[in-house]
């Protein structure tokens, strides 16, 4: 606004929002944040370290300064605290692979006007396809997002002090919850249910953390698989947004039956306020599900409350996390 009058500045930035995805994804692809962290602080030093052109390095640096991920001090460039925490390779919370994946997915957004008209995917849907190779890249790229959330959930549930507990992770993906929780509690055991190629990835990643001997993987479709029983904690992380209300309710009922009396279901997802006024990330994420799923969306607190209550849980609580996702505990 200038003198109370609207200006086109913000809309111009929104229209060109893909520049941010491009610059961030390309910087991650060339490990720029990692080289900056190691002390390469000029375009020519970064170009030499990353094996890219100096013109390209300078362009990425200018873009990253604009995005407030890199700062210029005394003629040298350095990561901001945010980039240093979340974009340097090798750190468990590094979002660099995710930034590259989103850049690769960007072309699909051009179909959004058609998807909106049709009310769902116009090319092949993603989430309903069994054993879709889509998951193989995705689950590894999103593992870093779950690290702060799985850690926060473990603190709230006192997983480390819980002794001999058994955990079920439905659609566990990379196995990040098992890796963190089995690492915190040497007496805990976990079972992950996911497609066979994803379980193979989880076994490898969980083995890297030295706790794979306490992880069992069950291959199959969670809509049809038998969940077994006697679990103390069940995890349903970033699954609800791909499922319809009916399927979420059916899966919550199966999870209730698989838990011991008093056991806890942990749901993690982008949860919309009941009046649909926020939060911003959860509101926008619905477009991703319109593109990729026949019936998925981001759901409201009231939806979760209703489905979980109907599924037999009587104590439902919502907890913010250090990420755009919220935790829901149901007992």
Binding site for ligand SAM (CB under 6 A): 127, 135, 139, 142-143, 146, 171-174, 176, 194-195, 198, 221-223, 237-239
Nearest-approach distance from CB 238 to ligand SAM, in angstroms: 4
Q: CA nearest 307: which of 262, 226, 250?
A: 250
In the DSSP assignment, the letter for residue 107 is G
Smallest distance from the beta carbon of 49 to ligand SAM, in angstroms?
31
- Tell me which DSSP letter residue 159 carries: G
Q: Which residues pair with 193 in a beta bridge?
A: 170, 218
In the bound state with ligand SAM, the residue whose beta carbon lies nearer, of 80 and 321, is: 321
Give whichever of 70 and 240 is closer to ligand SAM, judged by the CB atom: 240
* Ranges of H-type helices in the chain: 9-15, 18-29, 32-37, 43-50, 54-66, 81-86, 96-105, 112-118, 134-157, 176-184, 196-208, 245-258, 280-292, 301-310
Q: Which is nearer to ligand SAM, 62 or 128 (CB)?
A: 128
Q: How far is the CB of 239 from ligand SAM (least distance, A)?
A: 6
Number of Cβ within a 10 Å radius of residue 213? 9
* 26 or 127: CB nearest ligand SAM: 127
Decide: helix, strand or coil at residue 37: helix
Nearest to 167 by CA among 215, 239, 213: 215
CB of 277 to ligand SAM, least distance (A): 25
Least distance (Å) between residue 191 CB and ligand SAM: 13
CA distances from 287 to 239, 283, 296, 298 (A): 16, 8, 10, 9
Give the rounded distance of the alpha carbon of 51 from its chain centre.
Answer: 30
Q: Which region, left, alpha or beta, applies to residue 218 given φ > 0 means left and ψ of -120 to 50 means alpha? A: beta
């Amino acid at each position: 606004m200038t003198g109370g009058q609207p200006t086109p500045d913000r809309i111009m930035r929104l229209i060109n929002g893909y520049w941010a995805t491009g610059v961030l994804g390309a910087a991650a692809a060339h490990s720029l944040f990692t080289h900056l962290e190691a002390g390469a602080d000029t375009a020519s030093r970064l170009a030499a370290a990353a094996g890219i052109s100096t013109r390209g390095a300078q362009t990425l640096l200018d873009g990253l300064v604009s995005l407030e991920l890199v700062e210029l001090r005394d003629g040298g460039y350095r990561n901001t605290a945010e980039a240093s925490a979340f974009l340097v390779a090798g750190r468990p919370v590094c979002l660099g692979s995710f930034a590259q994946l989103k850049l690769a997915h960007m072309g699909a957004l051009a179909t959004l006007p058609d998807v909106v008209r049709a009310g769902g995917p116009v090319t092949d849907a993603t989430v309903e396809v069994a054993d879709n190779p889509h998951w193989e890249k995705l689950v590894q790229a999103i593992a870093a997002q779950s690290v702060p959330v799985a850690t926060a959930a473990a603190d709230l549930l006192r997983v480390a002090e819980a002794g001999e507990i058994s955990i079920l992770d439905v659609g566990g993906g990379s196995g990040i919850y098992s890796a963190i929780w089995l690492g915190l509690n040497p007496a805990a055991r976990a079972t992950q249910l996911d497609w066979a190629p994803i379980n193979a990835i989880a076994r490898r990643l969980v083995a890297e953390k030295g706790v794979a001997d306490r992880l069992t993987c069950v291959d199959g479709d969670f809509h049809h698989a038998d969940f077994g029983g006697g679990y103390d904690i069940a995890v349903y992380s970033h699954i609800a947004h791909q499922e319809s209300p009916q399927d979420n309710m059916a899966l919550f009922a199966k999870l209730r039956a698989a838990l011991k009396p008093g056991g806890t279901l942990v749901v993690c997802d982008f949860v919309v306020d009941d009046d649909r006024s926020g939060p911003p990330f959860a509101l926008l994420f619905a477009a991703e599900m319109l593109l990729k799923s026949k019936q998925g969306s981001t759901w409201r607190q009231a939806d979760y409350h209703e489905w979980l209550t109907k599924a037999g849980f009587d104590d439902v609580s919502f907890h913010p996390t250090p990420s755009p996702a919220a935790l829901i505990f149901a007992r």
